[in-house]
Every structure is written in C-alpha cells, then in structure tokens.
Amino acid sequence: MELTRREALKKFATGTGAAVATAGLTTIALPGSANAEVEFKEAPKNAVSLLYDATRCIGCKSCVAACAEANNLQPDTSLSGGLHQAPADLNAFTKNIIKLYKPADGRGWSYVKQQCMQCVDPTCVAGCSFFALTKRPEDGVVWWNASKCMGCRYCEISCPFHVPKFQWEGFNPKIVKCEMCKERLAVGKQPACTSVCPVQAVVFGTREQNLAEAKRRIAENPDKYYQNKIYGETDGGGTQNLYLSHVPFEKLGLPDLGTESIPSKYMKWQRKLYSFLVVPTVLYVTMVGVIRGNWKEHKHHMEEEQKKTGLRPQL
Amino acid sequence: MTDRWERDVPVYNVPIWTKPFKVLMSLGGIALLLTLYREVVGLGPASGMNDAYAWGIWKTFNVMTLTGLGSGAFAIGISAWLFKQSKLHTVMRIALLTSFLAYLSGLIMIGIDVGRPWNIYWLVTPWNWNPHSPLLEVMFCMPAYAMLPLLLENVPPVLEYFHRNKPGTREFVEKCEKIIIAGYPFIVALAYILPAMHQSSLGALMLLAGDKVNPLWQTPFLPLLYVWAAAYLGVCCVAGTLLFTCLMWKRPYDMDVLVLLNKICAWLVGTWILFRMLDIVISGRLGFAFSADIFAGLFWMEMLFLGVGLYMLIDSAKLRNARLMFHAHVLIGVGGLLYRFNPTTLAFQPKPGAFYFPSAMELLISIGFVSLAIAGFCVAVKLLAILPAPTYTWFQMEAHESKLKALNRDEKVGELVTANNFSD
C-alpha cells in the first residue's frame, strides 16, 4: 500500500511540475494576453468622468430629479409619503442620490452624491459571467446588457460602493445603475446631473481634465480639503468619477480600499491557475493515466469476485 | 463483527410508500407550488433578500454550503481510484448517489434563484464567457459535473436493475455497459477535476466581496479552504449516511471500511484546521478571533465543532464504536457546513444597518428541494443496488423475492378456492 501511494504521489508531482513549467512558458511566450490583465489597469484615454466637490454642493437635489427624468425612472416617493421624489437610497428607481452626512454634534457635516463610480478595474465586470456588465473601451463607462444578464446579482455582492441595484418585483427584473446617461453622451450632451447643477458641485469632463481641475482646486485652497486628496485617483485601482471633500471620505460612504483594485488584489492566484486551462488539463491527463493503471487491477478483482460468488460484477 | 461490505444490495424488505417518505414528498410539493409563485411575482415578495444581502439561502446554503455534503464522490473517489483504497469501491455507489442528488437539488435552486434564467443559455457559447469570473466557472462546471460524470457513473446501478428484472433488455444493457467501461477512466478523472475546480470557485466567489467578508474568513486561500472542507464534508456525509441507513434498515456494517473513512476524514479535518489557523496567524488576523463580537464567537463555534468532532473521529475509530462514529460525523458536518455558510451570510457585512433573514416562503422552498433529494435517495436505495452489504445478503434478497412470488401465487390459488366454495 505504501509503495502504491508513493507512486500515485509521484505521478501527481510530475503532473504538477509540468503544469507549472507550461504555465511559466506561456507567461513568457504570451505576455500580452491573459496574464497581462492581472497587472495594473489604466483608464481609457477618453475616459469620461464626474468630479463631485462636497464643499460646493448645496443639497438642492436637482441632479436627482434630472437623473430620474433623463433615464425615465419612476420617482421613488418612499420618504415623502407619496408626495414627491424622495428616495432613501440608491435602488431600482434611483441611479443617483444626494445624501446628508451629519454627526451628532452637527459639526463637519456634508452632502454627498452617490452614483456608479465607473471604476478603472470594476469588480462587477470581473465577476460577471457573460459580460452583461462591460466597460466600454471608448469612454470607460460600465454598461449593462439585458440580453446577457441572468440576474444572479453577483455585481451587488461584489461592488464595494453598493451601486448596482436589482428590481426585486416582477418576473422580468433588471439591474439598475448609472451608465453616465449613455443616450445623452451618444448625441454629444453631458450627463443630466452635471447639466443642471447650479453651483458646479458636480462637473463633467474627461478623467484627465477632472483630475487637473481637482488638483487646481486643492492648490488654490490648500487647507480646505480632507488630506488634500482626490478620492478615486488611485483608490480601489482608480475610479473615473472623482470626489473632493472636507470630511473624511469613509464618512461619505467611500471606503478605504487601498490602491490595488479588488479583482487584482484577490484574484491573482485564481487567474494564474486557470490561465489557458493549463493546470486543469495537465491534472486531468495525469489522473486519467493513474486511473487507467488502477482500472486493470480493479477489473481483475471484479472477475475474481464473479468466479467466487457466481454473481454479475458491479461496476 | 465479521461482516464485510462486498457487494451493493437493494434495501429489499421495506416498502417505498412510508410515512416519512410521504412527508418528504409533500414538503417537495409545497416547494414546487411556491416556486411557481416566486417566478410570477419576482424575488422580492417571495424572499427576504434585499440589495445589501443580494444572495439569500437558496444560493448561500443550498448551493454554496450543501454541495459540500455532495462531494463524497469527489473525496472518496480520489481515495479509491488514485490512492488505491480498494476497500472503498463498495461505498462508491452511495457516494455517487448522494453527490448527484445534492448537486441536482443545488442546480435547481440556482435556476430558481437567478432573476433572468432565460439568459442562462449563454453558457453554451464560450465566446461570450468571462473566463476570469468565478461565477462562470461555477455555472459551467457544476452542471457539467452533475450531468456528465456524476450522471454517467450513476447509470450502472440502473442498468443492473433492468438486467435483473427485465430479461428482455439484457442485450441492450450489456452493450451499454461495454461503452461505459470503455470510457470509465476518462469519466472518473473528469469527476475529480471538475469538482476540484468548482468547489474552489465557490470559495473564490466571496473573494470579490472584498472587505464585506469578515477578516476571519476573507483570505486569498478561501478557494483552497472551500474545496478542502468539501472533501471532508463529502466523506462525513457518506459515512454518516451509511451508519444511519444500516441502523434504520438493520443492515450489517463493515467496521474496517468505516474506520478507513474515519481516518480519511480525520486526516482532512486535522490538516484543514492546522492550515486555517496558520493562515490566520501568519497574516496577522488572530486578533479578530479574540475580539468580543459575534464573528469571533462564530469562528470558535466552528473550531469547537470541528475540534471535538476530530477527537471523536479518532476515538471512535480506536473503539470501533458505531454510535460515537455517527456523532463524530454529525459534529464534523455541522462545523464544516458552518464554515462554508459563514462568509456568505453570517460573517458577510455589506454595510451598516443591512439585515437579512429568510422569509417563510424562502425557507419552505429551500427545505422542499432538500426533502425531494432525500426522497429520491429513499426510492433509489430500495430499487437499486446502492447500499453496500455482505454477499450473503444478496442471496437472502433473491430467496426473499422468490418466496414473495410463490406466496402471491398461493394467495391467488386460495382466492380461487374460496370463490369455488361460494358457487357451490
């Protein structure tokens, strides 16, 4: 028994060795493909972007109303007793919302706008089985495709910003999230929210423009902004939509994610193991070899049993 | 005890339509009706799921947790075929059947859980796949595993049934058997690579949830720990089922095989606990295990179940005590299931204020499809040769069957006689 087990382990070891070698070779031979995706990603050149400045926002919510109108969303009146649009959170009727952060002592309060961050390396896209959520290469907007989505809601589980929402009612549910007013962008207009903001608290531009604008504002008022930091520049691998604030970003629901994106941080090994299915294939072939060897012995054993008992052998 | 499991023999002396079976079937029936309701009104009214806890027990318990129990064919098969534990071949059929049923009920639950099931057909178009999605891996490998190797490996007992009871089909059956035997090593190897992939991917699903999963569970080794837990859960499900069925239907048990299963299970659980602790200590997350919150409590609960279960596994193998053995497997089962359930639900904190508790309807559907799987098991072991037994049991069964046939004839004769008497 000892010897045979060792043999099996040996065969396994050779198989795994071969797998590692082949995987190594493919890494060298095909530097531009699967493995490259693990590396740091950059936003597309013409990545569209929103820059939200919490110090400027007056909480008028005209962007919320404009968003609902532009996207044909039924107004969510849950907080106003059915009177007017007053959603409690992003939901199946709300792609954009203004929230108020107010600590108990009332000091250092702030509004915050919440919508899809259009991540540079989106976690929702990384997990989506059939790319029902895709990042458009031209402008980096994350689009949802009804004909590909099977409604598994993995995007809701994985999004660190709690953005994608699901229509819980009805037999034909959809995923609802900000797509930067893609119909408006297509005809050269800017998104509805930026077009109505009376104080330029949220402005539209390319990511480069908005980064430069944010840096300019910080340079003009060096003590105004929290840590003089632009949230989204590198957070979670970078987001296209950027935030400036006078209160800590965590208080506004923008978590501290580090500089690495969630997919590249957690999926490194997973992706290497599955690259080109090399490891699974080698393992499979090795196992077939071992089992075929043991199969003969098993057959022999079955035949002996049949002779002894006179009963049909059982597979 | 000198009994040896040499051959799989149907449970021949018990009726199929028993009271527990009727209860299981009605639970399944209720679930089917409620499923219809869910398909019409949507997920919201039927379940307790919400945008924060977007996955409820249908996915997190029935699929991500319970298919661990369905990994018996994976773990025991590897021991039998790759590590040449030839004693285990007699328990392969029960392992294959429990696995198939666990996976089948899990797959049905995925179908009920997804909101837009009509789009699942993209699975057959590889050019539309996201090759790096752990969910795609699960969605493809799970049905592939259940419908190819598992189903095919469950065919021989069915063929055997026809061969024995329907003499007209014998020629056809023998032809089928030849085909299966020719492809067997390839099917069997597939039955190990596919579960290794998707059971680890079930763990990988939670990797993308990032910091939403409590640090005691969130680790890059989550996939490895998941597939490892599946291995020992599979062994303990098969061993527990064997012990339970032997007790219930008064069948002799083979202590040597059970002790071997105990050893495999103990080895897997022991190394798993060691690895999990090392991972937590080395990555500096041990502090979370001693914080005064519910998560530390859950962590130690897992460790307690698995630790005590491990001790009892070793002890019961030494004492060769069936009762202790059964309890050990139950403890390991609870501990392992808890581990696989925790990161998906109990230790999953999407955001402050979020709350999820399954609705009654959700629970009934979940229970109903598990009940159907158990009912399927009860029917299968009574019709087919699934459960292992000594060879003499097979001859006893044949004697019992011929006696039954004779008895029926006698009864018929008796009835005729009474009828004649009346006419007189």
The per-residue pLDDT for range B60-80, each reduced to its tens digit, is: 999 999 999 999 999 999 999
Report how far residue A28's alpha carbon sits from residue A30's, in angstroms, rounded to the nearest whole number.
6
Query: What do you get for the CA distance between the two ends of chain A, in Å?
Result: 22
A53 and A149 fall within a common domain:
yes
DSSP assignment letter at B54: -
Superfamily of domain B10-386: Formate dehydrogenase/DMSO reductase domain (1.20.1630.10)
Q: Which among B197, B190, B230 is positioned nearest to B64, based on CA atoms?
A: B230
Per-residue pLDDT, averaged over A245-268, amounts to 93
**Residue A4 scores a pLDDT above 90:** no
Q: How confident is the prediction for chain B on average, in pLDDT?
A: 93
What is the predicted pLDDT for the residue at A36? 40
Report how far residue A116's alpha carbon sits from residue A101's, in angstroms, rounded to the nearest whole number.
19
**Residue A118 scores a pLDDT above 80:** yes
Least confident of A302-311, B184-193, B248-257, B400-409: B400-409
Report how far residue A281's alpha carbon sits from residue B286's, in angstroms, rounded to the nearest whole number.
37
A29 and A113 fall within a common domain:
no
Q: Give the confidence band of A13 by pLDDT, cuts at 50, 70, 90.
A: low
ipTM for the whole predicted complex goes beyond 0.85: yes
- Cα–Cα separations (whole angstroms), residue A150 to A277, A280, B96, B212: 25, 27, 30, 23
**Residue B422 scores a pLDDT above 90:** no
Percent of chain B at pLDDT above 90? 91
Query: Does the distance separating the beta carbons of A271 and B177 come in below 8 Å?
Result: no
What is the predicted pLDDT for the residue at B2? 62
Least confident of A37-46, A133-142, B241-250, B254-263: A37-46
Orientation angle between helical segments B155-165 and B170-207, nearest 10 degrees: 160
Higher pLDDT, B417 or B378: B378
Give the domain extent around A36. Answer: 1-40+268-289
The per-residue pLDDT for range A74-90, each reduced to its tens digit, is: 989 988 888 999 999 99
Main-chain dihedrals φ then ψ at residue A166, nearest 5 degrees: -115, 140
By residue count, chain B amounts to 424
Taking the Cβ of residue A168 and every Cβ of chain B, the question of whether any pair is shorter than 8 Å is answered with yes
Nearest CA in chain B to A256: B211
What is the predicted pLDDT for the residue at B245? 95
A34 and A75 fall within a common domain:
no
**Residue A2 scores a pLDDT above 50:** no
> Does A2 fall in a domain?
yes
> Does A285 fall in a domain?
yes
DSSP assignment letter at A34: G
What is the predicted pLDDT for the residue at B410? 66
- For A150, the closest of B51, B120, B188 (CB atoms) is B120
Rg value, chain A, Cα? 27
Structure tokens at B417: 């006689």
Task: Determine the Cα angle at A173 with ends A168 and A177, to 5°.
Answer: 85
Query: Does the distance separating the beta carbons of B184 and A315 come in below 8 Å?
Result: yes
> Does A279 fall in a domain?
yes
Q: How far is CA A70 from the centre of its chain?
A: 25
Burial call A127-161: b when 16+ CB within 10 Å, e when fewer: bbbbbbbbbbeebbbbebeeebbbbbbbbbbbbbb
- Percent of chain B as helix, strand, coil, to the nearest 5: 75, 0, 20
A222 and A104 fall within a common domain:
yes
What is the predicted pLDDT for the residue at B423? 39
Cβ pairs A/B, distance under 8 A? 209
Give the residue carrying structure tokens 């129990």. Answer: B69
Higher pLDDT, A305 or B312: B312
Per-residue pLDDT, averaged over B79-98, amounts to 95
A174 and A273 fall within a common domain:
no
A32 and A52 fall within a common domain:
no
What is the predicted pLDDT for the residue at B137? 93
- Specify the pTM: 0.90
- Percent of chain A as helix, strand, coil, to the nearest 5: 40, 10, 45
Task: Determine the Cα angle at B142 with ends B136 and B145, to 5°.
Answer: 130
**Residue A23 scores a pLDDT above 50:** no
- Sequence-distant (≥ 6) Cβ neighbours of residue B359 within 8 angstroms: B46, B47, B48
The per-residue pLDDT for range A222-256, each reduced to its tens digit, is: 999 999 999 999 999 999 999 999 999 999 999 99
State the best of B35, B58, B60, B82 to mutate against chain A, taking most chain A CBs within 10 Å.
B82
Answer for the pair B325, B239: CB distance below 8 angstroms, yes or no. yes
Domain tally, chain A: 2
Query: Does the distance separating the beta carbons of B119 and A160 come in below 8 Å?
Result: no
A98 membership: H or E segment, kind and range:
strand A97-101
A185 and A205 fall within a common domain:
yes
- Sequence-distant (≥ 6) Cβ neighbours of residue B38 within 8 angstroms: B46, B47, B112, B361, B365
- Cα–Cα separations (whole angstroms), residue B229 to A291, B89, B199: 24, 22, 9
Which sign does the torsion angle of CA A258, A259, A262, A267 carry?
Answer: negative
**Residue A5 scores a pLDDT above 80:** no
If phi over 0 gives left and psi between -120 and 50 gives alpha, with beta otherwise, what is residue B201? alpha
A96 and A238 fall within a common domain:
yes
The per-residue pLDDT for range B299-340, each reduced to its tens digit, is: 999 999 999 999 999 999 999 999 999 999 999 999 999 999
Give the residue carrying structure tokens 């009509």. Answer: B118
- For B133, the closest of A127, A165, A298 (CB atoms) is A127
Query: Does the distance separating the beta carbons of B83 and A5 come in below 8 Å?
Result: yes
Give contacts of B40 with chain A, Cβ < 8 Å: 171
A117 and A223 fall within a common domain:
yes
Half-sphere exposure of A257 (CA within 13 A, CB side): 31
The per-residue pLDDT for range B109-153, each reduced to its tens digit, is: 999 999 999 999 999 999 999 988 999 999 999 999 999 999 999
Q: Give the confidence band of A40 by pLDDT, cuts at 50, 70, 90.
A: low
A206 and A185 fall within a common domain:
yes
Report how far residue B263's alpha carbon sits from residue B271's, in angstroms, rounded to the nearest whole number.
12
Task: Determine the Cα angle at B60 with ends B39 and B106, to 5°.
Answer: 65
Give the residue carrying structure tokens 């590590």. Answer: B83
What is the predicted pLDDT for the residue at A266? 87
- Sequence-distant (≥ 6) Cβ neighbours of residue B217 within 8 angstroms: B206, B342, B343, B347
**Residue B382 scores a pLDDT above 70:** yes
> Does A207 fall in a domain?
yes
Give contacts of B189 with chain A, Cβ < 8 Å: 284, 287-288, 291
Query: Does the distance separating the beta carbons of B208 and A263 come in below 8 Å?
Result: yes
B125 membership: H or E segment, kind and range:
none
Give contacts of B41 with chain A, Cβ < 8 Å: 169-171
Taking the Cβ of residue B177 and every Cβ of chain A, the question of whether any pair is shorter than 8 Å is answered with yes
Tell me the residues of chain A between 271 and 300 that have a Cβ less than 8 Å away from chain B.
Answer: 271, 274, 280, 283-284, 287-288, 290-292, 294-295, 297-298
Strands A202-206 and A175-176: unpaired
Report how far residue B272's alpha carbon sits from residue B278's, in angstroms, rounded to the nearest whole number.
10
Taking the Cβ of residue B50 and every Cβ of chain A, the question of whether any pair is shorter than 8 Å is answered with yes
Burial call B206-217: b when 16+ CB within 10 Å, e when fewer: bbbbbebbbbbb
Q: Give the confidence band of A107 by pLDDT, cuts at 50, 70, 90.
A: confident
Q: Give the confidence band of A3 by pLDDT, cuts at 50, 70, 90.
A: very low
The per-residue pLDDT for range B11-65, each reduced to its tens digit, is: 998 899 999 999 999 999 999 999 999 999 999 999 999 999 999 999 999 999 9
- For B160, the closest of A5, A298, A314 (CB atoms) is A314
By residue count, chain A amounts to 315
The per-residue pLDDT for range A50-60, each reduced to its tens digit, is: 999 999 999 99
Answer for the pair A119, A238: CB distance below 8 angstroms, yes or no. yes
Taking the Cβ of residue B133 and every Cβ of chain A, the question of whether any pair is shorter than 8 Å is answered with yes
**Residue A49: beta bridge partners?**
A205
Tell me the residues of chain B between 302 and 331 that have a Cβ less than 8 Å away from chain A.
Answer: none
> Does A303 fall in a domain?
no
Tell me the residues of chain B between 252 and 281 that have a Cβ less than 8 Å away from chain A.
Answer: none
A99 and A142 fall within a common domain:
yes
Q: How confident is the prediction for chain A on average, in pLDDT?
A: 88
> Does A298 fall in a domain?
no
Report how far residue A75's alpha carbon sits from residue A85's, in angstroms, rounded to the nearest whole number.
5
Structure tokens at B282: 């080395």
Answer for the pair B339, B302: CB distance below 8 angstroms, yes or no. yes
Structure tokens at B222: 């989550």
Q: Give the confidence band of A21 by pLDDT, cuts at 50, 70, 90.
A: very low
> Does A311 fall in a domain?
no
Taking the Cβ of residue A109 and every Cβ of chain B, the question of whether any pair is shorter than 8 Å is answered with no
Higher pLDDT, A28 or A224: A224
Pick from A209, A241, A259: which residue ends a domain? A259
> Does A58 fall in a domain?
yes
What is the predicted pLDDT for the residue at A10? 57
CATH code at position A109: 3.30.70.20
A73 and A110 fall within a common domain:
yes
Q: Which among A44, A63, A143 is positioned nearest to A111, based on CA atoms?
A: A63
